[in-house]
Amino acid sequence: MNVLAVTNMYPTPQAPSSGIFVEQQIAGLRRIGLDVRLVFVPRLERGMRAYAGLGTRIRSQVGQYRPDLVHVMYGGVMADQVTRHVRTVPVVVTFHGSDLLGEGGAGPLRRMIAQYGVRASRKAARRASGIIVVSKILEDALPDAGHRARTRIIPCGIDLERFSPLDRLQCCTRLGWSPDAFNVLFPSSAANPVKRAHLAGCAIELLRRSGLDVRLHYLTGVTNDQVPTWLNAADVVLLTSAHEGSPTVVKEALACNRPIVSVDVGDVGERIDAVNGCHLSPAEPSALADALRMVRESRQPIAGRRVAESLSIERIADRLRGFYEEVLGAEVRVAPRREPTRVAGSVS
């Protein structure tokens, strides 16, 4: 099976941590034998200019490469452009979060841009031959229930070789953290309004007032190969986001057997539901502080890796291949396949 993957999130020298989960998904598909060609749209570098002429470019790539299908690995303007211009092969679109939910906690300009992206996502969903969402909350955000028959919930996989339990004391030493303190890891910077770092900060302050030696660490500017050290050094991972799709860091923390305290967001509740030592909390400082205190009193690793094993890169790749086969089978039943016109172009 030949797949043309289109994404605006992918690691680059300028942004080595951007789109790691997309890179791993493509690697997983290749690992199980699919021929995947990548078209990268440099949205971070070029802004909205990156989408100029994108539909024509992708149509050219389809003509040259002749894929069985095109997989657009994010929604918004990119998915709108591709689904509008590619008609000769099926197009599958994956929605990850803000592309369907918007960014309600951001500033006015960012919210306006995000809402434009949501409208573009809805147009793309109506045209797509197949839809993938990474969590149930995104399925519920689709334009209408008529899309459910061609929608599957498939979260991004994780690298279980990279993310595994490590010695906590050694990890603390590498990072210069005090192993005697209660180390709380916040998986973002304090500057991202959607992550609501103020909630985390208020909860930490309540714990400090009660006499606990609590240290809050922001996971920002850290390369992916360093993240396992940070996770394993932490006593707990704290999420307070206003919205998420399927946060990768939760699955990575589970693979490292690290406890999680989170508000009810994305698919976090589903991931930690059966894991003793993890806590879902109301989005209130006092409730978050109480949940963190329970983790502090236990201070034991959790049995999260067994949950993470079902989310390995290879298993998720198998699920994607199965859905591709469903989409291709449906296309064949509906109408005979048209041969794409061969035109010049290049892929990486």
Average pLDDT over residues 29-43: 95
Shared-domain flag, residues 141 and 181 = no
What is the domain range of residue 72? 2-157+312-334
Q: Of 308, 324, 342, which one is at a domain's C-terminal end?
A: 308
Shared-domain flag, residues 113 and 56 = yes
Q: Domain holding 248: CATH number?
A: 3.40.50.2000
Shared-domain flag, residues 230 and 141 = no
3-state secondary structure of 61: helix
**What pLDDT score was predicted for residue 28?**
94
How many Å apart are CA 269 and CA 300, to the nearest integer? 20
3-state secondary structure of 40: strand
Percent of the chain with pLDDT over 90: 71
- 8 A C-beta contact, residue 56 and residue 82: no
Is pLDDT at 104 greater than 90 in this prediction? Answer: no
Higher pLDDT, 72 or 14: 72
Q: What is the mean pLDDT of the chain?
A: 90
How many Å apart are CA 343 and CA 320, to the nearest integer? 28
Angle at 70 between CA 309 and CA 88, to 5 degrees: 150
Average pLDDT over residues 51-63: 92
How many Å apart are CA 263 and CA 301, to the nearest integer? 20
**What pLDDT score was predicted for residue 145?**
61
* Cα distances (Å, whole numbers) of residue 42 to 37, 52, 78, 348: 16, 11, 11, 13
Is pLDDT at 333 greater than 80 in this prediction? Answer: no
User: Is residue 342 one of the residues assigned to a domain?
Assistant: no
Is pLDDT at 324 greater than 70 in this prediction? Answer: yes
**What pLDDT score was predicted for residue 105?**
60
Shared-domain flag, residues 83 and 119 = yes
Is pLDDT at 346 greater than 50 in this prediction? Answer: no
**What pLDDT score was predicted for residue 161?**
94
User: Is residue 163 one of the residues assigned to a domain?
Assistant: no
Is pLDDT at 136 greater than 70 in this prediction? Answer: yes
How many Å apart are CA 285 and CA 205, to the nearest integer? 9
Read off the pLDDT band of 98 (50, 70, 90).
confident
User: Is residue 348 one of the residues assigned to a domain?
Assistant: no
Is pLDDT at 120 greater than 60 in this prediction? Answer: yes
User: Is residue 119 one of the residues assigned to a domain?
Assistant: yes
Number of structural domains in the chain = 2
Is pLDDT at 115 greater than 90 in this prediction? Answer: no
Is pLDDT at 336 greater than 70 in this prediction? Answer: no
Shared-domain flag, residues 174 and 147 = no
Shared-domain flag, residues 257 and 284 = yes
How many Å apart are CA 174 and CA 99, to the nearest integer? 37
* Cα distances (Å, whole numbers) of residue 75 to 80, 143, 167, 319: 7, 13, 39, 20
pLDDT in tens, 269-307: 999 998 999 999 999 999 999 999 999 998 777 999 999
Angle at 268 between CA 100 and CA 191, to 5 degrees: 65
**What pLDDT score was predicted for residue 347?**
45
**What pLDDT score was predicted for residue 332?**
56
User: Is residue 250 one of the residues assigned to a domain?
Assistant: yes
User: Is residue 240 one of the residues assigned to a domain?
Assistant: yes
User: Is residue 345 one of the residues assigned to a domain?
Assistant: no
Shared-domain flag, residues 13 and 148 = yes
User: Is residue 339 one of the residues assigned to a domain?
Assistant: no
Shared-domain flag, residues 13 and 127 = yes
**What pLDDT score was predicted for residue 147?**
74
Higher pLDDT, 334 or 170: 170
Shared-domain flag, residues 145 and 199 = no
Q: For 4-8, 142-146, 206-210, 327-331, which range has the lowest pLDDT when averaged over its residues?
A: 142-146
Shared-domain flag, residues 204 and 227 = yes
Angle at 281 between CA 255 and CA 274, to 5 degrees: 40
- 8 A C-beta contact, residue 340 and residue 84: no
Shared-domain flag, residues 90 and 26 = yes
Shared-domain flag, residues 247 and 288 = yes
